[in-house]
Structure formats: structure tokens, C-alpha cells
């Protein structure tokens, strides 16, 4: 955990004591979660079936991210939690399931008309706002938001510098955008402007990386596959 990271104060100890082994498992899980997101995107695109955002998808992505690291992998937090270095206090644990359902309903109700980046920003912010897990909230929110983004546009977005990877590499603007959205929500306003601007810039960088690869003779070399 780097200095400046927001994290759950109620975060449970890792199931792995060795920091090196823990980092290795986190990396392996990141690859597995990336692959699962790609599978979900392909299911929407290949099978041409209506997109559905379900609680089970969210729990599955969380389970993969925390597999072998937390006893709560794939489960909502059992108690209340606070977030380090954040003004936001997440809702009580007993409200988490219904709030997740409301989040899914919002996406589905607005899926046909809303812009892809707006839905992506909403999921990324709202899941962090609910903070449904003892750990891995950020990882899960970024993976889920990327899935929603690609599902809305209808295909895997090209480029090796994925939007979630860019955010994970420099979290300060991301945290600031989340805090701004939280402040607007306290005033009964759903205003994701700052987060949408950040995601817009990240998406442009990702698409540019695809363009650069097309002009790079060394493109296609193996790279780490992960979203965080």
C-alpha cells in the first residue's frame, strides 16, 4: 500500500504473510481478473445478447481479485467501514446489497441513452461510494467500469495502456475526482464531470497507444495483462 492511497480502515489482514508471495498473488489475480473482464465483453459482443449488469458479476470480479488474499473474497463486507484519507463515510453494511442493486438498475435504465463514458464514470464512482467490500473496492470498481464502457460501445477497446491501468499508475487525480463527485452527491447532485474528464483523457491515451503500436515494428511483444 503506497502513501496517499485511500483504503478501507476495516481491511482484513491478508491470508499470505510473506510480502513477496502476497505481491505475486496480487499480480496473478490481476491477470485473472483482466481475462474475466475480456470474457464478459466477448460474451456481450459475440453472443449479441442484451447486456445485463448483475450483482453476481460484481461479486465474481471481486472474488478473482482477492482470491487467496482475503477470507471475504467474493462477499460483501460484514460490518461498517471507513476510508483512509477520504471525507466520505460509506453507508452501513446492511444497506450494501440494496445499494448495489440500485446501481445496477441505474446502469440498465440509462444504458440505451447515456454516453459510455458517463456510465463508466458512474459505476467507478458509485461502487467506490458504496464501498461494498472490506478490501479490493478500487480494483473491482475499475474492472467493472471498464466492462460497462466496452459493453456500451460494443467491442473491446484497442490499446495496451488500458484506462484502468493508467488510473492505477497515478491515483491522485482519480481520488480527487471521486471526492468531487462525493461532494456533489452530498448536495443531492449527480455530477461526475471531473471523473468523466479524467476518463476521457485516459481513453484518448489508450486509443493513441493502439495507433502507436500500428506504427511500431516491435508491436506485439508480450506485455503484462492486468487492469490494476
pLDDT: which is higher, 14 or 176: 176
At residue 221, does pLDDT exceed 80? no
Q: What is the predicted pLDDT for the residue at 15?
A: 76
CA dihedral 199, 23, 9, 171 (to 10 degrees): -20
Q: What are phi and psi of 66, to 5 degrees?
A: -110, 10
56-76 as b/e: b if 16+ CB within 10 A: ebbbbbbbbbbbebbebbbeb
Percentage of the chain exceeding pLDDT 90: 77
The pLDDT value recorded for residue 11 is 58
Question: CB neighbours of 194 closer than 8 A, spacing ≥ 6?
Answer: 176, 177, 180, 181
Domains annotated on the chain, with CATH? 19-74+97-214 (1.10.3290.10)
- Cell numbers that stand for 105 in this block: 438498475
Quick check: 79 pLDDT over 70?
Answer: yes
Decide if pLDDT at 130 tops 90. Answer: yes
User: Taking Cα atoms as reference points, which of 95, 99, 110, 88 lies closest to residue 176?
Assistant: 88
Q: What is the DSSP letter of 94?
A: G
pLDDT of residue 17: 77
The pTM for the full model equals 0.90
Q: Is the pLDDT of residue 41 over 60?
A: yes
Mean pLDDT of the chain: 91
Active site residues: 131
Residue 84's contacts (CB-CB under 8 Å, 6 or more residues apart) are: 5, 6, 7, 8, 9
Backbone angles phi, psi at 83, to 5 degrees: -115, 125
Q: What are phi and psi of 81, to 5 degrees?
A: -150, 155
Stated as kind and residue range, the H or E segment containing 207 is: helix 193-214
Amino acid at each position: 500500500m503506497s502513501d496517499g492511497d485511500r483504503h478501507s480502515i476495516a481491511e482484513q489482514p491478508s491470508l499470505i504473510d510473506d510480502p513477496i508471495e502476497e505481491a505475486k498473488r496480487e499480480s496473478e489475480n490481476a491477470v485473472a481478473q483482466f481475462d474475466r473482464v475480456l470474457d464478459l465483453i466477448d460474451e456481450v459482443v459475440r453472443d449479441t445478447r442484451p447486456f445485463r449488469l448483475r450483482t453476481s458479476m460484481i461479486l465474481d470480479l471481486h472474488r478473482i481479485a482477492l482470491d487467496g488474499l482475503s477470507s471475504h473474497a467474493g462477499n460483501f463486507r460484514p460490518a461498517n467501514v471507513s476510508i483512509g484519507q477520504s471525507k466520505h463515510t460509506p453507508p452501513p453494511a446492511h444497506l450494501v446489497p440494496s445499494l448495489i442493486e440500485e446501481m445496477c438498475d441505474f446502469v440498465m435504465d440509462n444504458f440505451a441513452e447515456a454516453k459510455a463514458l458517463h456510465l463508466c464514470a458512474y459505476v467507478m464512482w458509485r461502487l467506490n461510494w458504496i464501498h461494498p467490500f472490506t478490501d479490493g473496492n478500487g480494483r473491482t470498481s475499475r474492472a467493472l467500469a471498464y466492462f460497462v464502457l466496452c459493453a456500451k460501445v460494443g467491442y473491446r477497446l484497442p490499446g495496451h495502456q488500458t484506462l484502468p491501468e493508467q488510473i492505477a499508475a497515478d491515483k491522485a487525480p482519480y481520488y480527487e475526482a471521486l471526492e468531487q463527485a462525493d461532494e456533489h452527491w452530498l448536495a443531492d447532485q449527480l455530477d461526475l464531470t471531473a471523473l468523466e474528464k479524467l476518463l476521457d483523457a485516459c481513453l484518448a491515451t489508450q486509443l493513441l497507444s493502439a495507433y502507436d503500436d500500428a506504427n511500431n515494428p516491435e508491436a506485439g511483444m508480450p506485455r503484462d495483462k492486468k487492469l490494476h
